[in-house]
Amino acid sequence: MCGRYALNYSGEELNQRLHQMNFEVQLSRDNISGHEPSFNVAPTQDAPVYTTGHELRYMKWGLVPQWTKDVSQAKLYKTFNARTESLGTSKMWKVPCQRKRCVVPVSGYYEWITKNKTKVPYYVTRKDRQVMFLAGLWDRVPHEDFYSFTIITSPAPPNMKWLHFRMPVIFTPGSKEWDAWMDDSKHEWADKTLIETLKARCYEDVVEWWQANSDVNKVSNNGSYLIEPVKKEEEELLKKPVEEREPLHKKQKSEIKADPNVPSGVNKKGELVIPEGGALGGGKDEYHEGSSAKRVKREGSFGGDDEHVTKKSKNEHTKGQATIHSALQRSPRKKQVK
Please name which of 84, 81, 36 lies closest in space to residue 58, comparing C-alpha atoms.
Answer: 36
Q: Cβ contacts of residue 245 below 8 Å, gap of 6+?
A: 158, 159, 161, 162, 237, 238
E strand or H helix that includes residue 52? none
Catalytic annotation, pick one of 2, 255, 276, 289 = 2
Which of 137, 130, 150 is closest to 182 using CA atoms?
137
Query: Exactly one of 97, 102, 111, 276 is catalytic; which is it?
Result: 111
> CA 140 from chain center: how many Å?
21
Separate counts of helices (H) and strands (E) for the chain: 6, 17
- CB within 8 Å of 203: residues ≥ 6 apart: none
Separation of alpha carbons 255 and 279, rounded Å: 5
Q: What is the CA 202 to chain-centroid distance, rounded?
A: 17
Over its C-alpha atoms, the chain yields an Rg (Å, rounded) of: 22
Q: For residue 157, give the nearest of 170, 139, 148 by alpha carbon.
A: 170
Instruction: Compute how many other C-beta atoms are within 10 angstroms of the C-beta atom of residue 90.
Output: 18
Q: Is 243 a catalytic residue?
A: no
Task: Let me know if 97 is a catalytic residue.
Answer: no
Handedness of CA 246, 252, 253, 259 (dihedral sign): negative
CA-to-CA distance for 170 and 17, rounded, in angstroms? 18
CA distance from start to end of the chain: 65
Residues noted as catalytic = 2, 111
